[in-house]
Each structure stands twice: as structure tokens, then as C-alpha cells.
Amino acid sequence: MKLIIGNKAYSSWSLRGWLACKQSGLPFEEVVVPMYDADWEKRRSGDEFAPSSGKVPILWDGDAVVWDSLAIVDYLADKVGRERFWPEDNAARAMARSMAAEMHSSFAALRRKHSMNVRQVFPASTPDDDVLLELQRVMEIWAQARARFGGGGDFLFGQFGAADIMFAPLVTRIVTYQLPIARFAAGYMQAMFEHPFMQDWIAAAQEEEWVLEQFEQPVPATA
């Protein structure tokens, strides 16, 4: 397998795809493509990027290609068994899938106004109202998952899995921008940052040479 990803400091979708590959336990080649450099547009038009219209992450497995992070989770779960990604209990699995899908399709204000940058911690400021509403929703579903199904470990459904993978970039955003969270969430976030896969990703991001100024400001541009 070969996984093509963007800059580890900034690419939230790449983080999800990479965590999914690591969680699968399968060997894979990692190809990091610097986003928005002089060759970015030319590179995106190449054959390897064609199925995704130039977006990352994109996973190649022989002739099979998967270019969406949640689809990558599902594809890998088919290969190695769903229990590596999803809870065994039917009710827990239903909730985990719903949360993963909601993270995949929602929280536009958080994404737009607080871009991922795992190398920075910006001064705290009062988030916009739409961001606060989305954070409240995140805290609600995290609390429900932990209360109902999190007793077997430190993650949303006890053991690290697909739901945690989908929320991982949001966890980094909360830290980068010092966004307000419920008290219970601190323990979950600590477990996320201490997970070996997250530690490896953050360490690699620190070693990257590329700097994208549009993501290096406390209040990212919303355009």
C-alpha cells in the first residue's frame, strides 16, 4: 500500500488517513507531498492524484485507490477486520459510526476559523459564537460516548478506534487555539496526545522544513 499525504503540520485529513493506516497494522509506504509549493498544482494533476482530483490523503493498494479519509477507514477495516476500528457492541458501533460521520461532514466553523497546526499554541482568545456552538456539540457527543461506552479505556469508546481517528485533528485544534472544553475532556485529549501514533505524527511535523504562512497566524484567514 502507498499513502500520499500533505504536510503533517497542517493537513488534518492526511492525519486521519495516516492514523487509519497505522491502526490497520498493515505495512504501507508514506509519501509526503508539500502543499501549496511551486509544484503543487502540477503535482496534483498527475495520474496518482487523478482519482481524488488532487486531494490528499489518497491510498493506493495495488490497482485499488481510496481518496477519502473515512472511506480509507472502511476499506482498511474490510481488510483487517472491523474490530480493529469499531466497537464490538452493536449500540456502541452505531454511535461510533454516527460520530465519525458527523465529524466528517460537520463543524464547518471550527475547520474554517481554526486551521490545524500541530506545531503552534496560539494565545487564547474568545471564539466566535458559531465556533462555541460547535464546540458545545463536540463536548456533548464526547460525553455521551465516554459515559455509555468508554469504561474499557481512555478513548471515546474505550479502546482507540475510528471515532478517535476522525476527531484527532479537532483535538489538536483545541490545543493549538486553547479553545474551551468541558472538564472531563481533558483526560481524553491527554490520552489522544500520548498515543504512540499521535506522538510519531507530531514529532515528524516538528521536523518538516515547510512553513505555510497562512496557517501560522493566531486568527487564520476565513477566505
CB atoms inside a 10 Å sphere around CB 152: 11
> What is the full DSSP assignment across 182-218?
-TTHHHHHHHHHHSHHHHHHHHHHHH-----GGGSSS
Find where cell 497542517 sits. Answer: 10
**Terminal Cα-to-Cα distance of the chain (whole angstroms):** 35
Per-residue pLDDT reduced to its tens digit, 164-201: 999 999 999 999 999 999 999 999 999 999 999 999 99
Query: In whole angstroms, what is the distance from residue 205 CA to residue 35 CA?
Result: 13
Find where cell 497566524 sits. Answer: 217
pLDDT at 223: 34
Q: In this structure, are residues 22 and 76 in contact, taking their beta carbons and an 8 Å threshold?
A: no
Q: In this structure, are residues 8 and 208 in contact, taking their beta carbons and an 8 Å threshold?
A: yes
Residue 221 has pLDDT above 60, yes or no: no
pLDDT at 219: 64
pLDDT at 215: 83
pLDDT at 222: 43
Q: In this structure, are residues 73 and 162 in contact, taking their beta carbons and an 8 Å threshold?
A: yes
Omega prior to 57 cis, within 30 of 0? yes
pLDDT at 38: 67
Q: What percent of the chain has pLDDT over 90?
A: 83
Q: What are 64's strand-pairing partners? A: 61
Per-residue pLDDT reduced to its tens digit, 78-122: 999 999 999 999 999 999 999 999 999 999 999 999 999 999 999
pLDDT at 14: 96
Report which DSSP code applies to 136.
Answer: H
Q: Which amino acid is at 92?
A: A
Query: In whole angstroms, what is the distance from residue 61 CA to residue 1 CA?
Result: 4
**Residue range 16-44: average pLDDT?**
87
Report which DSSP code applies to 54.
Answer: T
CB atoms inside a 10 Å sphere around CB 61: 16
Query: Per-residue confidence at 144, pLDDT binned at 50, 70, 90?
Result: very high
Query: In whole angstroms, what is the distance from residue 31 CA to residue 187 CA?
Result: 33
Rounded to two decimals, the pTM is 0.93
Q: What average pLDDT does the structure give for the chain?
A: 93
Q: In this structure, are residues 135 and 181 in contact, taking their beta carbons and an 8 Å threshold?
A: yes
CB atoms inside a 10 Å sphere around CB 81: 11
Find where cell 490528499 sits. Answer: 56
